[in-house]
Amino acid sequence: MRIISKEIDMAESSQKGSAIFNDIEMGIGTWAWGDRLVWGYGNQYAADDIEQTFLAAVSNGITFFDTAEVYGQGKSEKFLGQLIPRASVNLKIASKIMPFPWRISKDALRKALTGSLKRLGLPKIDLYQIHWPMPPVSIESWMAQMAEVQSEGLISAIGVSNYDLEQTKRAVDALAKKGTTLASNQVEFHLLERRIEKNGMLDFCNANGVKVIAYSPLAMGILSGKYTPDNPPKGTRAGQYNRPLLEKIQPLIKMLKSIGMDHDGKTASQVALNWVICKGTLPIPGAKNVGQLEQNAGAVGWRLSEEEMHKLDELSDRISQTISGIEQE
């Protein structure tokens, strides 16, 4: 009877897990909430900005928040833990475990999850994800640990992040053997990074009920049009998005702005995010202040036309080919 009960509990958790994305067009990625190295927390923005950003998100109907134990060395989860009680609606919280090579014990995931639950002040996490596929622990072992904590009601849904197609298939198969399912795979996806469309990942996920969560849907802000060859980003992003690359993508920025004008003055950012939504994926752009949050919120509630999607796809493909040439030089 105990085994049967556990199987029923797991099946119910799996069904609830697959439902966490219902009616959610977009979420918020909270990597920047407390991160000093990449995003400049403490210099460019502070705790008050994060608080106001959270409240603005909830008031704009954004209820899905993605965090991780490593974001800001735990600060991101702590911020959410302090802010969640202030929400007047039910939120969906996603977090991640980083499978460092030294995490080889059978209860490694449980220990990490316990830490995240404590920082978030929650009895359960809606979506718990493996942050990266790292050896030496196998995908099958991590999925077994995931299924176990799910059966105990500590998480609702199981996800992965940065898994390639074969790794995703292994995760799906491993969870199926445990009587549960993979809810999501979080990967980089935007107009300048479309590999999941080309390598079969997006098709596989759609066919198997795995939601693709798109991180960096604005290419770390590059698709907002804020940065130009004469005004490149600073810090760690400067090397990736240098002057030659920024020159190559200006026609795409121009098209995003032009299409936005045909949709009651939508911005380049809003059009770029809507493109991600129209692909059937869930974008989780970051936001460090209310202005960025409200900008992102304007991407939902409307849709690009098929013709506009085709134009963006075509130009994106051409630009990606030229970018590849720059990177190989």
* Fold (CATH) for 2-328: TIM Barrel (3.20.20)
Every domain of the chain and the residues it spans: 2-328
pLDDT band with cut points at 50, 70 and 90 for residue 99: very high
Query: What are the DSSP E strand ranges found in the chain?
Result: 28-29, 64-66, 92-97, 125-130, 155-161, 184-188, 211-215, 282-283
Per-residue pLDDT, 18: 63
Per-residue pLDDT, 132: 97
pLDDT band with cut points at 50, 70 and 90 for residue 5: very low
Per-residue pLDDT, 42: 86
- For the stretch 284-318, pLDDT in tens is 999 999 999 999 999 999 999 999 999 999 999 99
* Residue type, position 197, single letter: E
Single out the catalytic residue among 41, 45, 71, 215. Answer: 71
Model-level pTM?
A: 0.92
Active site residue 215: no
Per-residue pLDDT, 17: 52
Mean pLDDT lowest for which of 33-37, 63-67, 137-141, 263-267?
33-37
Q: Which of 144, 214, 202 is nearest to 173 (CA)?
A: 144
Average pLDDT, the chain: 92
Per-residue pLDDT, 324: 64
The tokens 């074969």 sit on which residue?
166
Per-residue pLDDT, 65: 98
